[in-house]
Structure 1
Amino acid sequence: MERIRLTGAQATMLATLYGKAMDARSPNSVLHDTMALEAVRRIDHDFSKVGIKPGDASTVALRSLHFDGWTREFLAAHPEATVLHLGCGLDTRVFRVDPGPGVRWFDVDYPDVIDLRRKVFPEREGDYTLLATPVTPAGWLAQVPADRPVLVVAEGLTMYLREEAGRELFRAIVERFPSGQLVFDGFSKRGIKLQKVNKAVQVAGATLYWGVDGPAELESIHPALRCVSAVSAFDLDGFDRVRLAYRLLAKAARMIPVMRRMAIMYRLEF
């Protein structure tokens, strides 16, 4: 059993991991992430206190399933590419997607998170690198070859960044690579203000900072950026598989624009 001492934004990854593990145990699993379930068994932590209940698990899994889909789409179109999985936490996306031999994949997170990944997940063959560094500032990008199209996956990350730091990170990526996509989820400014009702954030002692009110704010980061998808978290495929309370919440949110825009999955191209 691996003992952990994580606080703040880093600790929120435990809620995400637990949600995927609980989903994997369900007979109606969305993501089938059995590696997440095994990781929970190997970590010495009281997961009942991370702010995620078993009934919430499918909503966590739906978000990851959506980003897995975008990742597979990009790699199908670009079989020789670089993937930067920013704030990877204990996500097993590289194992779920299982990229081909032409893909160079980097999982990037704080040193203590990367150390924990090495302990709970098996080594992976191929062009796979664990980078132990904060994602901002972006000086670590110098370690990444810039000779291929890049896919940047930042699930559950941007809201924890200061706005200018996040914008500088995106600019640095666009200016380093020849082309690519950035896929990530963002909260609206109202969503940031409501962080006190986000149980997982409060339990971890984390703080949300960067709120995004629509594609125009993101496209203003760099002239080369163009938003090609902006999908509400309440419009994701699979809500028919979540518990009744969430189905009713999603139905109500779709009818109220301010709620529908509170959490968005973005896909930007450059």
Structure 2
Amino acid sequence: MHECLSAVPSTLRIPLAARALGDALFPSVAVDDAHAARLLAALGDDGALWLRDRGSVYGVLARTRRFRELAGAYLARHPAGHVVNLGCGLAHYFQWLDNGQAHMTDADLGEVFAIRRALLPAAGGRHVLREVNLADAGWWDALGLPAQRGEAPVFLFAEGVFMYLQPEVVQAVLRTFGERAPAESVFAFDAMCWLAAGRAKQHPSVRHTEAEFHWGPRRPAELTAPSPRLRLAAAHPVMEGYGWPYQWMGPLFRAVLGVPFYALYELHATDTEN
């Protein structure tokens, strides 16, 4: 079934395999995904190819826990809030985030949903699916996100998505969030720095797909430049717990180049323009 996916959507197998099989390899960042193993098997994928890249397995689990933590913190402040997973693939975050009040939208391309609808239980009520392309200017309204800044804050996240987008699309998405999001809204996403652009064939897992990296920040200011309402709240490390080379190379890389090689960024929409 997965053979019908185009280049970027085909990368959904990488995080799916990590969440399905990675807990035993890295119990310190285990995520206890109740659906991933079944979904991976349904794709006819035993995960062996992806498990060879242990670094990516660790990174997926670590970033999953961080996304869950940030979304959970948002829901602690806004229990009936709206969480949106942009480029959800076959991830099922609502299993971890459903507090009985929260609303969640899983968003992705139509070709992904053709598979998702066949393999995951039908969504409904407080958990809905929306087909959307972030390259389309109307993605915000297509997701039913707030029409006015005075509405309740929302939490958006994009996992393993931004590095595959063209730079102008990333800037447009961040601009839309900055212009449209109510104050105290959060946008979390992971990204590699600009050095990775054009080098997907050097990535141990992504090289087995036809996907390419197109974007990564050169400096933190790029992330807030699209709108004066954007504030960079944090650049969360992802790989530092993987082992000693990452523990000392990560901070060194950031000190030399000004941005992490890979990090999970947390942007907030503010109530005043900076």
Which of the five TM-score ranges fits, normalised by the shorter chain? 0.7 to 0.9
SS state of the match for residue 108, structure 1? strand
Query: Any residues of structure 2 matched to 1:139-150 within 5 Å, and which?
Result: 139-143=138-142, 144-146=144-146, 147-150=151-154
Query: Any residues of structure 2 matched to 1:110-189 within 5 Å, and which?
Result: 110-143=109-142, 144-146=144-146, 147-179=151-183, 180-189=185-194
Query: Does the CA contact (< 8 Å) of 2:166 and 2:215 recur in 1?
Result: yes
Counterpart residue identity of residue 90, structure 2: L
C-alpha distance in structure 1 between counterparts of 2:8 and 2:136, whole Å: 16
Percent same amino acid at aligned positions? 25
Query: Does the CA contact (< 8 Å) of 1:19 and 1:54 recur in 2?
Result: no
What's 2:70 paired with?
Answer: 70
Q: CA deviation at 1:46?
A: 5.6
C-alpha distance in structure 1 between counterparts of 2:68 and 2:219, whole Å: 22
Query: Any residues of structure 2 matched to 1:222-241 within 5 Å, and which?
Result: 222-235=227-240, 239=241
Give the 3 Å change call, closer, same or farther, for CA 145–220 of structure 1 in structure 2. Answer: closer
What's 2:243 paired with?
Answer: 247
Structure 2 unaligned residues grouped into runs of 5+: 270-274
Counterpart residue identity of residue 197, structure 1: Q
Structure with the bigger percentage of helix: 1
Q: Residue by residue, what CA displacement relative to the aligned partner does 1:161-213 show, whole Å, maximum 9, x if unpaired?
A: 11111111121223223221110111111133543321222111101111112
Q: CA deviation at 1:24?
A: 4.1
What's 2:87 paired with?
Answer: 87
The alignment covers a number of residue pairs equal to: 258
What's 1:203 paired with?
Answer: 208
Counterpart residue identity of residue 11, structure 1: S
Q: Residue by residue, what CA displacement relative to the aligned partner does 1:241-269 show, whole Å, maximum 9, x if unpaired?
A: xxxxx413313423522587100111010
SS state of the match for residue 34, structure 1? coil
C-alpha distance in structure 1 between counterparts of 2:12 and 2:99, whole Å: 23
C-alpha distance in structure 2 between counterparts of 1:59 and 1:142, whole Å: 32
Match for residue 190 of structure 1 among 169, 189, 195:
195
Counterpart residue identity of residue 89, structure 2: G
CA RMSD of the aligned region, Å? 2.3
C-alpha distance in structure 1 between counterparts of 2:222 and 2:105, whole Å: 27
C-alpha distance in structure 1 between counterparts of 2:171 and 2:26, whole Å: 41
Q: CA deviation at 1:128?
A: 1.6
Query: Does the CA contact (< 8 Å) of 2:238 and 2:262 recur in 1?
Result: yes
Moved beyond 6 Å, runs of 4+: none
Query: Does the CA contact (< 8 Å) of 1:20 and 1:58 recur in 2?
Result: no
Counterpart residue identity of residue 62, structure 1: A
C-alpha distance in structure 2 between counterparts of 1:153 and 1:77, whole Å: 17
Give the 3 Å change call, closer, same or farther, for CA 27–156 of structure 1 in structure 2. Answer: closer
C-alpha distance in structure 1 between counterparts of 2:99 and 2:227, whole Å: 29
Q: Residue by residue, what CA displacement relative to the aligned partner does 1:103-141 show, whole Å, maximum 9, x if unpaired?
A: 332111011111211122123453221111222213132
Counterpart residue identity of residue 97, structure 1: L
Counterpart residue identity of residue 218, structure 2: D
SS state of the match for residue 32, structure 2? coil
Please tell me whether residue 59 in structure 1 is matched to residue 64 in structure 2: no
C-alpha distance in structure 2 between counterparts of 1:225 and 1:100, whole Å: 30
Give the 3 Å change call, closer, same or farther, for CA 194–252 of structure 1 in structure 2. Answer: farther
SS state of the match for residue 256, structure 1? helix
What's 1:242 paired with?
Answer: none
C-alpha distance in structure 1 between counterparts of 2:129 and 2:25, whole Å: 30
Q: CA deviation at 1:48?
A: 3.0
C-alpha distance in structure 2 between counterparts of 1:99 and 1:200, whole Å: 34
What's 1:268 paired with?
Answer: 267
Give the 3 Å change call, closer, same or farther, for CA 256–195 of structure 1 in structure 2. Answer: farther
Query: Does the CA contact (< 8 Å) of 2:2 and 2:10 recur in 1?
Result: no
Q: CA deviation at 1:215?
A: 2.3
